Copies of this chain bind each other. A is one copy, B any other.
Amino acid sequence: MADSATLPVSVGRYLIHRLRQLGLGHVFGIPGDYVLGFMRQLEESPLQLVGTTNELCAGYAADAYARVTGLGALCVTYAVGGLSAANAVACAYAEKSPLVVISGAPGVRERRKRSQVHHMVGAHDAQRRAFEPITAAAVTIEDPLTAFREIDRALATCLARKQPVYIELPRDRVDMEGQAGHVPESGSPASDPDELAEAVGETASMLAAARAPIIIAGIEVHRFGLTGALMSFAERHGIPVCSTLLGKSVVSEKHPLYAGTYVGALSRAELVEFVEGSDCVLSLGAPITDTDTGIFTTRLSPERTVHATSQTVRIRHHAFEEVRLDDFLAGLAVQSVPVFHRPLPPKDNPLEQPWMPRAGAPLTTGRLFHKVNSVLSKGLSVVADPGDAMFGSIDLSVHEGADFLATAFYATLGWAVPAAIGAQVARGKVRPLVLVGDGAFQMTGTELSTAVRLGLDPIVVVLNNRGYLTERFILEGKFNDIHNWNYHQMPALLGGGLGVLAGTEDEFCKALDHAIATPGQFHLIEARLEKMDASPALRRLGERLAAEAKG
C-alpha cells in the first residue's frame, strides 16, 4: 500500500490509484461529455481504456474480465451510457462478478443551478436510484472531503461481496482535491469464532462418519479464490469433486478427482447416481438456483448435506450466518478427516470418443459439440452463450480452471461475444472459443469489431437454427423465428477476420481445424443446423421449463 503522504490528491486520480493498487489493468467503456475529464485522467494513467461498440458490450466485457482476473471496471457517461449497460451490471450482480461501474455525471454546481441538462431523466439522482437494486453499493461523490472514504467503501464492498458497485462522478468533482493525509481503508467482516468452530466441527464429524462423500464446487469457490484450498483438501482426503453448471471449470476437469458437471436431471445418469448416492455432500460456494439444479431436479437430502456459501453455512436444518467461506475451508483443512477411496463413476462421456467427419453428412448439434470437445486444449477457453450453446456444453471437457465462461444463471443472450473480448484482454494467451446461437449473435455480434481493432483472435461458432431454439421447446410461436443473416459475411463489414459457412460435418471440421491452426485474427464459423435440432440436455430442459411455466 502506498504511503499516505504520496497519495494522489484529486478525486479522479485517487480512484485510478486504488484500482491500480487492487491489480486492475484495463477499463472498458465509451466516452461521453460528462465523463471526458475522467477519461483524460485514465488515458494519462497506467490503466488501459478499452473502447467497445456500445455500453452493453463494454459491460459484458468488463464482467468477463472481472470473472477472469478478480476485478473489472466499466466507465460510461451519465444515463445514456450507464442505463445502456444496466443489464450487464445486473448480470454481474446475479452471478457475483466484482465489477466497478464508474459513471460521469453533470457537475454538482450544474445540479444546483439549473434543472434540465441533456441526458437527464427527470431528477438528477435517477440513474443512481436505478442502479441501487442491481449493485451492492451505489454512491455519488459529491463532497471532496468524504470522497476518498466513499471510494474506499465502495471498492471494499465490491471485493467483499464479489458484486458490482456504482460510483457516480459529477464532472466538477473529478479534479477536486480530497482529504489530505487520507489512509485507505480495507478489510472485510471477520467470521464469528464460535459459529466457525461449531460449523467446522459438525462438518468434520459428518465426514468422519461418512463412507462416500462428495464435494460440489460452485462459482463462489472461484470468485473468492478458493480453488487451490478446496482441491488440496479434496486431494488429501481423496474426495471426488463435481461442479455446478455456473461453476463449470472452477476446478480443472482433467483432475483425477473430477467427476463431472452435476445439473440434476440434465446430467448424464451415472453422474446423477454417483452424486445422489453419496452419504455426505459438501456443497461449497454453490447458491441454489433453478438452472444449477436442473430446474430443481437435484435430489440431495438435507440430512446428509453441508451447504456453505458466502452468505451462510447450512448444515442439515440449521444455519450459521457469520461464517466466511474462506475461514470455513481453512478450518476444515486442519480437522481430522479420514481418507476415502471411492471410485469415480465410469467416464464414458460420449464426447470423449474419437471423432471423424462423415463427408457430406449434414451437421447436427450433437456432432458439433463432439468435434468442439476434440479440439479443446490448454490455451483455449470456452465462452458459451445461454441456450443450446451452453446446455450442449455441459459435457465439454475443459482443461484448465476458469476456462469455461457462461451466464449459466442470469442467462442473458448476447453475452458471449463481448465477454470473449473482455476475457482475452485479460489473458491474451488464452484464446476464447465462443459458442453462440444466432438470436444471441444478432444482439451483440458486431462487437467482433473490437477483436479486429485490438488484434484479438477468438473463434466464434454461430449455431444457426434461425431463431430462439430454447423457447421453441417451451412454447412455439412465430415470435421465436428471426431474420436469417449471412453471419459468415461479418468480416466484410468489419474489415478483418475470417468467415466460413459450414453445413456439413467435413466443412465444420475443416473450418474449426483451420481456425485453431491460424491464430492472429478472429474466425467466425456459421454452423447451419436444422431448425429443431438440439442437444439432449436442451430437450430435457425445455420440457422441464415448459412444465414449470404451466405451474
Interface residues of A (CB under 8 A from B): 29, 31-33, 36-37, 39-40, 43, 49, 51, 53-54, 56, 79-80, 83-84, 86-87, 90-91, 93-94, 107, 109-110, 114-123, 125-127, 129-134, 171-172, 287-291, 296, 409-414, 442-446, 449-450, 452-453, 468, 470-471, 474-475, 477-487, 489-490, 492-495, 545, 548-549, 551
Q: For residue A143, give the distance in angstroms from its CB to the closest CB of chain B.
A: 17
With a cutoff of 8 Å between Cβ atoms, the chain B residues found around residue A171 in the complex are 549
Asked, given contacts A94-B120, A493-B492, whether A474 binds B129 with beta carbons under 8 Å apart, the answer is: no
Q: Contact between A410 and B119 (Cβ–Cβ < 8 Å)? A: yes
Whether the pair B54, A414 counts as a contact (CB closer than 8 A) is yes
Closest approach, in angstroms, between the C-beta of A294 and any C-beta of chain B?
Answer: 12
A126 to B132, CA, bound (A): 9
A485 touches B474 (CB 8 A): no
Which B residue's beta carbon lies closest to that of A129?
A: B133
Q: Does the CB pair A87–B93 fall under 8 Å?
A: no
| Central interface residue in A110, A133, A410, by most chain B CB within 10 Å | A133
| Cβ–Cβ < 8 Å partners of A490 in chain B | 493
Q: Which residues of B contact A110 (CB under 8 A)?
A: 548
A444 partner residues in chain B, CB cutoff 8 A: 54
For A53, what are the chain B residues with a Cβ–Cβ distance below 8 Å? 442-443, 482
Query: With a CB–CB cut-off of 8 A, which chain B residues contact A453?
Result: 483
Judge whether A290 and B114 touch: CB under 8 Å. Answer: yes
Residue of B33, B80, B442, B484 near A54 (CB, 8 A) is: B442
The answer to whether A133 and B117 touch across the interface, beta carbons within 8 angstroms, is: no
Residues of B within 8 A of A414 (CB): 54
> A126 — which chain B residues lie within 8 A by C-beta?
90, 133-134
- Specify which of B80, B93, B468, B475 is in contact with A40 (CB 8 Å cutoff): B475
Contact at A83–B93, with CB atoms within 8 Å? no
Asked whether B122 lies within 8 Å of A32 as measured between CB atoms, the reply is: no
Instruction: Rank and list the top 4 A-B pairs by shortest CB-CB distance, nearest first.
Output: A453-B483, A83-B87, A54-B443, A36-B475
User: A109 and B31: CB pair below 8 A?
Assistant: no
- Interface contact B479-A31, CB-CB below 8 Å: yes
Given contacts A51-B479, A115-B288, A442-B54, contact A33 B549 (CB under 8 A): yes
- Cβ–Cβ contact A482 & B119, under 8 A: no
Q: Given A33-B471, A485-B494, do A442 and B446 touch, yes or no (CB 8 Å)?
A: yes
Task: Please name all residues of chain B whose beta carbon is closer than 8 Å to the beta carbon of A470 when the two chains form the complex.
Answer: 33
* A412 to B30 CA separation, bound complex (whole angstroms): 12
Q: Are the CB atoms of B31 and A480 closer together than 8 Å? A: yes
| Alpha-carbon separation in the docked complex, A470 to B493 (Å) | 24
Contact of A132 among B129, B410, B411 (CB under 8 A): B129
**Within 8 Å CB of A484, what residues of B?**
495
Report chain B residues within 8 Å CB of A119.
94, 410-412
Find out whether the CB atom of A121 lies under 8 angstroms from the CB atom of B107: no
Tell me, rounded to whole Å, the shortest Cβ–Cβ distance linking A363 to chain B.
Answer: 20
Extra 16 A-B pairs, beta carbons < 8 Å, given A36-B475, A90-B126, A118-B411: A29-B479, A36-B477, A43-B478, A79-B90, A80-B91, A114-B296, A116-B288, A118-B409, A121-B133, A126-B133, A129-B133, A130-B130, A130-B133, A445-B446, A452-B483, A485-B494
Complexed CA–CA distance, A486 and B496 (Å): 10
- Which residues does chain B contribute within 8 Å of A40, judged by CB atoms? 475, 477
Known: A39-B477, A56-B84, A130-B86. A116 touches B287 (CB 8 A): yes
A51 contacts across to B, CB distance below 8 A: 479, 481-482
13 contacts between A and B (CB under 8 A): A33-B474, A40-B475, A49-B479, A80-B411, A80-B412, A93-B121, A94-B119, A116-B287, A116-B289, A127-B133, A449-B485, A452-B483, A483-B494
A525 to chain B, nearest CB (A): 15
Expressed in whole angstroms, the Cα–Cα distance for A475 and B32 within the complex equals: 10
Residues of B within 8 A of A115 (CB): 288
Which residue from chain B places its CB closest to the CB of A79 in the assembled complex?
A: B90
How far apart are the CA atoms of A412 and B80 in the complex, in Å? 5
Chain B residue numbers with a CB within 8 Å of A54 are: 414, 442-444
